[in-house]
Amino acid sequence: MISATGVRLRLGNRDILDIPEFSLHPGHVTALVGPNGSGKSSLLLTLALLQPPSQGSIRFSGEAVNPSNQLGFRRRLAVVFQEPLLLDATVRGNLMTALRIRGIPRREAQQRTSYWLERFGVLQLARQPARTLSGGEAQRTSLARAFALEPEVLFMDEPFASLDYPTRTLLLKEMGMILRELHTTTLFVTHDYSEIPFLAQQVAVLYEGRIIRYGSIADVFGNASLERLTWVPWQRALEDV
């Protein structure tokens, strides 16, 4: 689906990423973990075509991304950030605007908007200004907007990090059900390993800008219970490098 080959990213005088080869498994959810400053968000932005690499290539469905076609590829993706980044509009308006920008006919946009607001439990807030929402309501709206776009690939950068525990747990369960239902190829960044079994089938460990481990949850974490994982998995992964 999306792959990176020979990708390097340098910002100023600092080398951020060095990714010889990396690809997302179609229809699977991959969790991207690693210590602070390892380049997780930079890799997500690069794969989401929002940060051009300094070197190397990104391919989408086997086709190399270049300046002439990247806008068309971006329209097949959706990105959810830790902060919801909602427009100063109503809840419904946030979804409708995104869909109309993508060229979705009005009637279909209205249907998608109502469906996904209901799926994420915020349909009753459709006419409410987004600026008045709680953190959980705003993130639900952001996720509804992303899924309404029907992306081929979904990117999420710590989307649950700012939510309180009850809201986060409930939303993780709902997200897991939706992702299993749709089989949307997804990459999500997290620092909380308890989120991984709710959503992911694959885990990639990033350390100092390099993928040092990539595989199934069992491959990366071994037999350890994720609820007991207070150690950092890249330390174990480094033993194998």
- Tell me whether residue 136 is in a domain: no
Question: 152, 151, 161, 200: which is closest to 32 by C-alpha?
Answer: 200
- Give, in degrees to the nearest 5, the angle at Cα 84 between 146 and 32: 70
Q: What is the extent of the structural domain holding 229?
A: 1-76+154-164+185-241
- Tell me whether residue 29 is in a domain: yes
pLDDT value at residue 224: 55
Question: 143, 112, 117, 119: which is closest to 128 by C-alpha?
Answer: 117
CB neighbourhood size of 169 (10 A): 15
- Per-10-residue mean pLDDT of the chain, 241 residues long, equals 95 95 96 94 97 96 92 95 95 98 97 98 98 95 97 96 89 94 96 92 96 93 56 50 44
- Tell me whether residue 117 is in a domain: no
pLDDT value at residue 44: 98
- Tell me whether residue 224 is in a domain: yes
Number of domains within the chain: 1
Residue 17 carries which side chain, given as an amino acid letter? L
- Tell me whether residue 120 is in a domain: no
- Token representation of residue 109: 């946009």
Query: What CATH number is given to the structural domain containing 212?
Result: 3.40.50.300
Contact indicator for 119, 147 with CB cutoff of 8 Å: yes
